[in-house]
Structure 1
Amino acid sequence: MYSIPDNVPVSIIIPNYNYGRFLRRSIDSALEQSHDNAEVIVVDDASTDETADVVASYGSQIKTCLREVNGGHAAAFNTGFASSSGRIVLFLDADDYLYPNAVSEIIDAWEDDTAQVQFRLHIVDEQQQVKDVFPPRELRFDSGDVTPHLLQKGRYQTSVTSGLAFPRSTLDAVMPVPETDFRQGADGYLATVAPLHGMVTSIDTCLGAYRMHGDNHSAFAEKLGQRARWRVQHDFRRLEALSDQAAEIGLEVAPDIGLRDPVHLEERLASLCIDQSQHPVADDSRLALAAAGACASMEMNTSLRRRAMLAAWFLSVGVLPLRLAKSVLSWKLVASSRPAFLLRISKGIRRALG
């Protein structure tokens, strides 16, 4: 274990666009860290709501970067990073918040070769009531050298924006985030390429809250096909960035990398089933994707029962009549669509797997 100074400078960057109603809780959580050497940077991406008043009320307690033109997630990340000075950097979504011990716990877990720290988050609603944990506790974090996972399937078990922290040296190697490709989902880029530059350190406790609400980019459940297409295309952009970064250090990704990742295959199958006319991969077939998904599921870092159930789910979507397949897809991907009996079964299974 590498011991870094207790007073190491830390930057908490809060990208914001029209989340003024949540922003104060996010800023307060950054200012209330038990670690006493953290700068708080709010990047406002040309908001049109009450954000300006919220930011102004903090005066010199925070550093503010005001973008004149909305550029999206990546542009806000790049702007904030350029204005930061910390040796450790966190990107905190404006609708999320950290617990007071978050930075201190990150520093305690730090090792000399850490390229990324990841931790779990409580999922909360708009009223900050805890509903669940992300990632679910039954999904084990991948830690240490995750490069083999990335090169073989393009993914490993990690967290989202507000559950990640990076050393400045790693970010210097991989930023700026490509702004056109990652207008949304800039954290996906960072979590994909950062581990090529060191080890992933995992903290298995919740150090913050991931707020779910109707405006989340990732929460448009009523538009399942649109969500699936966006995630498939985002994956393709991630994998292209991974391939480019890997090539720079003499590594090569597997040629069929997308067909080894059950998360990618799940969204790809959903896109194909729900609206084949707009599906981004012309030669995909349900059966082929389902078979690949079943095989990939059995390689996951989780219990045998969970792997077998996911494999069975893939196969059922692949062989059932399309109308039934769509229902099975919806039941898994959108919890609110599940019949009551399935919700009870799902909760029972999660308790058993946990």
Structure 2
Amino acid sequence: MRYSTQDRVPVSVVIANYNYARFLRRCIDSALEQDYDNAEVIVVDDASTDETASVVASYGPRIKACLREENGGHAAAFNTGFASSKGEIVLFLDADDYLYPHAVTEIVDAWEDRTAQMQFRLHIVDEEMRVKDVFPPPELAFESGDVTPKLLQKGRYQTTVTSGLAFDRSALEAIMPVPEKDFRQGADGYLATVAPLHGDVTSIDDCLGAYRMHGANHSVFAEKLGQRARWRIEHDFHRLEALSDQATEIGLDLPPDVGLRDPVHLEERLASLCMDKDLHPVANDSRLGLATAGAVASLDMNASRRRRALLAAWFLSVGVLPARMARAVLSWKLVASSRPDVLLRLSKAIRHAMG
């Protein structure tokens, strides 16, 4: 159904925490300080060994605390929190991130009759909460409505991370629990991949919260591109397996080569192959083959013509340059701090032009 803030539909904010005591209070406060008066706050602690217990205890009955005795990872925390929730709309919030006071109100007001998942942008902030950027960047348009055709075509659509998502309870009931072995990290990838099979995706272009980047983030592997790429490839394979299973249940088929149409997946395959060929998990991959597939997939992206052309050219350059130069070009794209100053200035100019 379509909601409005006058309906005061119950909302659950599930905070997943593991050893983030230094960030947790800001996160909990942001959920408690919402200008919406029918939101419960659930804090799942995944057997932390830091000062989390005292932080959680200090809030008393203002929050619902779920203290896991054994560390189970992202998916286990999501499953525990969802099982304790009552909201018709459920947000999963990573403990190092936080929401702005109007976030829940805007989500409820924007909810549509067929919404299964809502997504919104986040400010990227540093450890001191200084705003550095926007995620996803504004020039990348969210994909909304029925994204099932896009999922069946390439296994991905333009979405965001945990703290920028909200879900309809009925959609979650159809797909929960999150497989805990496959999604010990990146449980949001599972939810955002399969929830849209059960309704529409609704997007808000405003920033409704903050996505904190710091050295302990699972997503930060600045000096370990090969390791990061291998993890993301494995994560993609688990996502696509879950997508195939869910699609089959509702009478749809997922093509076996769906990942070869996804430039994001192909970028990781190429990075893994270039950085650590001996550890690359996909037999028979070649640089030229992946680069060619990536160039073709890039031209079919939901992006400006200039962005598509630049990405296609990047793929081809990595595919044909000598190995050492190819690794440098990979690093320049995937790790901003590795770029020469001239490329940093060019990147900013291109991004401005694309905006």
In the superposition, the TM-score normalised over structure 1's length comes to 0.99
3-state SS of paired residue (1:92): strand
Instruction: Give distance in 1, aligned partners of 2:3 and 2:56.
Output: 35
Question: How far does the alpha carbon of each residue in 1:202-229 deviate from its partner, in whole angstroms, 9 at most, with x for none?
Answer: 0001000000000000012111100000
Tell me which residue corresponds to 1:47: 48
Tell me which residue corresponds to 2:15: 14
CA contact (8 A) 1:119 1:205 kept: yes
Counterpart of 2:89 in structure 1: which amino acid?
A: I
Question: How far does the alpha carbon of each residue in 1:274-332 deviate from its partner, in whole angstroms, 9 at most, with x for none?
Answer: 00111010110000000000000000111000000000000000000000000000000
3-state SS of paired residue (2:25): helix
Instruction: Give distance in 1, aligned partners of 2:106 and 2:114.
Output: 17
Runs of 4+, deviation exceeding 6 Å: none
In the TM superposition, residue 80 of structure 1 has moved relative to its aligned partner by 0.3
State yes or no: 1:304 paired with 2:305.
yes
Question: How far does the alpha carbon of each residue in 1:123-152 deviate from its partner, in whole angstroms, 9 at most, with x for none?
Answer: 000000000000011100000000000001
Instruction: Give distance in 1, aligned partners of 2:95 and 2:312.
Output: 36
3-state SS of paired residue (1:91): strand
3-state SS of paired residue (2:248): helix
Tell me which residue corresponds to 1:353: 354
Counterpart of 1:330 in structure 2: which amino acid?
A: S
Tell me which residue corresponds to 1:254: 255
Tell me which residue corresponds to 1:269: 270
3-state SS of paired residue (2:30): helix
In the TM superposition, residue 165 of structure 1 has moved relative to its aligned partner by 0.2
The equivalences for 1:185-224 within 5 A come to 185-224=186-225
191-200 vs 218-227, greater mean Cα deviation: 218-227
Tell me which residue corresponds to 1:3: 3
Counterpart of 1:205 in structure 2: which amino acid?
A: D
Instruction: Give distance in 2, aligned partners of 1:196 and 1:311.
Output: 30
Tell me which residue corresponds to 1:323: 324
Tell me which residue corresponds to 1:85: 86
Q: Which runs of 5+ in 2 are unaligned?
A: none
* Cα RMSD, aligned residues only: 0.8
Tell me which residue corresponds to 1:115: 116
The equivalences for 1:103-182 within 5 A come to 103-182=104-183
Counterpart of 2:2 in structure 1: which amino acid?
A: Y
3-state SS of paired residue (2:224): helix
CA contact (8 A) 2:3 2:9 kept: no
In the TM superposition, residue 254 of structure 1 has moved relative to its aligned partner by 1.8
CA contact (8 A) 1:6 1:107 kept: no
Tell me which residue corresponds to 1:183: 184
Instruction: Give distance in 2, aligned partners of 1:172 and 1:258.
Output: 27
State yes or no: 1:37 paired with 2:38.
yes
Instruction: Give distance in 2, aligned partners of 1:298 and 1:2.
Output: 36
Tell me which residue corresponds to 2:226: 225
CA contact (8 A) 1:121 1:163 kept: yes
CA contact (8 A) 1:15 1:43 kept: yes
The equivalences for 1:282-301 within 5 A come to 282-301=283-302
How many residues in Structure 1 have an aligned counterpart in Structure 2? 354
In the TM superposition, residue 3 of structure 1 has moved relative to its aligned partner by 3.4
Q: What percentage of aligned pairs have identical amino acids?
A: 80
3-state SS of paired residue (1:222): coil
Counterpart of 1:242 in structure 2: which amino acid?
A: L
Counterpart of 1:239 in structure 2: which amino acid?
A: L
Q: Which runs of 5+ in 1 are unaligned?
A: none
In the TM superposition, residue 6 of structure 1 has moved relative to its aligned partner by 3.2
Counterpart of 1:344 in structure 2: which amino acid?
A: R
3-state SS of paired residue (2:219): helix
Counterpart of 2:251 in structure 1: which amino acid?
A: G
Tell me which residue corresponds to 1:344: 345
CA contact (8 A) 1:15 1:77 kept: yes
Instruction: Give distance in 2, aligned partners of 1:3 and 1:44.
Output: 31
Instruction: Give distance in 1, aligned partners of 2:7 and 2:290.
Output: 49
3-state SS of paired residue (2:201): strand
In the superposition, the TM-score normalised over structure 2's length comes to 0.99
3-state SS of paired residue (2:350): helix
